A = this chain, B = another copy of it.
Amino acid sequence: MGEGGAAPVSPPFRAVAVLGLGVIGGSLVRALRAELPGTRIMGWSPALGERSAAVDAGLLDGAPAAWEDAVDEADLVVLATPLGACLQMLPELEGIMLGRATVMDVASLKAPVARVAEDAGLAHRWIGSHPMAGSEGTGFARSDGALFRGARVWLVAGPHAVIAGRLKAVERLWRAVGAEPALIEADDHDRLMALVSHLPQLVSNALASVLLGRGVAPEALGPGGRDMTRLAGSNPTMWRDLLRHAPAEVVDGLRSVRDALDDVARAVEGGAVDHLEKLMQETRSWRGERS
C-alpha cells in the first residue's frame, strides 16, 4: 500500500459526493477537506440546517437540496446515511452517477449492502466501508475531522472492484484521513460486528434500563458506570436499521451474556468468591491489564 518515492501523488478521487452529513459523513467531509484539499466535495443531508452548516464551514463545494443533484460529477459517491436509507438509495444511483464512478457505503453491516449492490448490478463498482469510529451523539454538530485517526476501517470488495483499482483508491482515501483500512469478507465482518458492536450496544441498553427502572440518576455513576452506559445514549434511528438486519450471532451472544450473568448472580449469592475472582482474572488477562 506504500506510496513509495518522493513524487507527488494525485488524490485518489477528483470529486467526492457525500450523502448524509451526520457524525460519519460530516467527519468525512471535514477530514477530506483538510487532508485532500484538491478534491471537489459535494454534500447532501435531508436537513437544511446540516447542509448550511457544512457549507458555512467551508467544507463543501455545493450542497443541493436533492441528493440526485449532488452526485452527477462525482467519481466517488459515499452513502453515509442510516442503513435503511442506504439500501434504498444504492440501486437508484445506478442510472444517476457517472458510469466510471465508485460507490462506497459506511454502514455497520456489510452483507445486506453487498446483496443490494449485487441485485442493482453495482457489485463491480461498490466498495463497502465500515469505520470503527463514531459518537453516541447524532448529526453534523457532533462530527469531528479527527474521528478516523487510528481507527480500523473494514473494507469489503468484489473481484471486479479490486481489479479495476477501486479498492486501492478507497484504501488511499481512508489512509489520507488517518484510518487503518483492512479487507474482510462481508459475512465474516457481520459475524464479528454481532459480537463487538451489536452485543456491547444492547448490553449497555439492558444495563441502563435496569438502572433507570431503579431510579438511579446518571450523575450517581462513577467513571466505570459512565463507561458502561455511554452506548445507551446511542442513536436509536441508526440502530433500528442495524437491528432489523441483525446477524443470528447477536441473539446467540445476548443469550450467552444472559447465562453468564445468571452464573455470576448465583456465585455472588452463594459467596463463591474464588469462582468470581477466577472469572475476573480471565477477563483481565484477555483485556491485557497487568495483574
Contacts and interface: CB of A to CB of B under 8 A. Distances in A.
Interface of A: 132-134, 136-139, 151-152, 192, 195-197, 199-214, 216, 218, 220-225, 227-237, 239-240, 243-244, 246, 250-251, 253-258, 260-262, 264-265, 268-269, 271, 273, 276-277, 279-284, 286-291
**Is chain A's interface secondary structure helix, strand, loop, or mixed overall?**
helix
Given A208-B286, A224-B234, 11 more contacts: A134-B223, A136-B224, A199-B207, A200-B225, A205-B264, A206-B260, A209-B283, A213-B256, A218-B286, A244-B273, A254-B268
Copies in the complex: 2
Given A261-B254, A261-B261, A196 B216 contact: yes
Contacts of A209: 260, 279, 282-283
Nearest to A136: B289
With most chain B CB atoms within 10 A of its CB, the pick from A138, A209, A222, A283 is: A283
A250 to B, nearest CB: 5
Nearest to A262: B258
A268 B199 CA distance: 11
A27 to B, nearest CB: 13
Nearest to A135: B223
Contacts of A203: 203, 207, 228, 261
Given A196-B221, A203-B261, A258-B262, A288 B233 contact: yes
A6 to B, nearest CB: 33
